[in-house]
Amino acid sequence: MILLDDVTLTYPDGDARVTAVDRVTLEGRSGVLTGITGPSGSGKSSLLALAATLVRPDSGRVMIAGTDATRLSRSQATTLRRESIGIVFQQPQLLPALTAREQLRVMAELGGSGRRERRALVRGRVDELLDAVGLAAVADRRPAQLSGGQRQRVAIARALVHEPSVLLVDEPTSALDTARGAEIMGLLARLTHERQTATLLVTHDLVHREVLDETVEVVDGRAALVTTRTR
């Protein structure tokens, strides 16, 4: 469903360049929760940025649902991202003035591939999603009235509004205590399996490893598959 095929990414670093991702091949399959672990600065977030089509690799291909994203124009990539990719950042990045339900509704409207019927369909999904992440009872609260874990749930539900085939999540538990973190990880595993997303999840937290279907370890921009679990 998503394939990073021999990708390399460098950033400018004074007169030289630093290699953040070094010839990585990584596959995310439907219904599989793939964890990406590794030390700080090893290139985990850069890998997700490549998968999100937010940056272009220096070389290699990024295949999403059969399309080579590296060959798309900027606007084609934006459309692909909106329709096929859900992204959850480390901080939930919610709009302070909007209720949980409104955060999802805004995303539904943004989807606006024009058609009114499609927008209505996406709007209809909002309450189902809030229920799926356990927020039905607090759907009318604003971010300040929600706990950290609840805010992260809003961000997860929002990422799923367009029923993406690929879900990308960067360190979702870093601001949470262990128990809340474990709940979020369990939720992401369940959503991955129920909704059949190809989920790539960056985590440096070893305590959460048991919910991962596969674990890829990144060291100095190079990745290796370390465990695969059969369910």
Contacting positions for Mg ion (CB under 5 A)? 44-45
- Judged by beta carbon distances under 5 to 8 A according to partner kind, the member of ligand ADP, Mg ion, none in contact with residue 42 is ligand ADP
* Distance from C-alpha of 174 to C-alpha of 126, rounded to nearest angstrom: 26
| Cross-strand partners of 87 | 168
- Token readout for 193 is 């399996």
Q: Which of 2, 3, 9 lies closest to 222, judged by CA? A: 9
Distance in Å, CB of 48 to Mg ion, minimum: 8
Which residues is 145 bridged to in the sheet? none
Work out whether 206 is an interface residue with ligand ADP (CB under 6 A). no
CA dist., res. 197 & res. 1, Å (int): 9
**Which of Mg ion, ligand ADP, none does 219 bind, CB closer than 5 to 8 A by kind?**
none
174 scored as a contact of ligand ADP (CB under 6 A)? no
Q: Are strands 16-28 and 222-228 parallel, antiparallel or unpaired?
A: unpaired
Pairing of strands 33-37, 198-202: parallel
- x/- mask, ligand ADP, residues 7-46, rule CB under 6 A, reads ----x------x-x-----------------x-xxxxxxx
Q: Which is nearer to ligand ADP, 40 or 75 (CB)?
A: 40
Residues binding ligand ADP (CB under 6 A) = 11, 18, 20, 38, 40-46
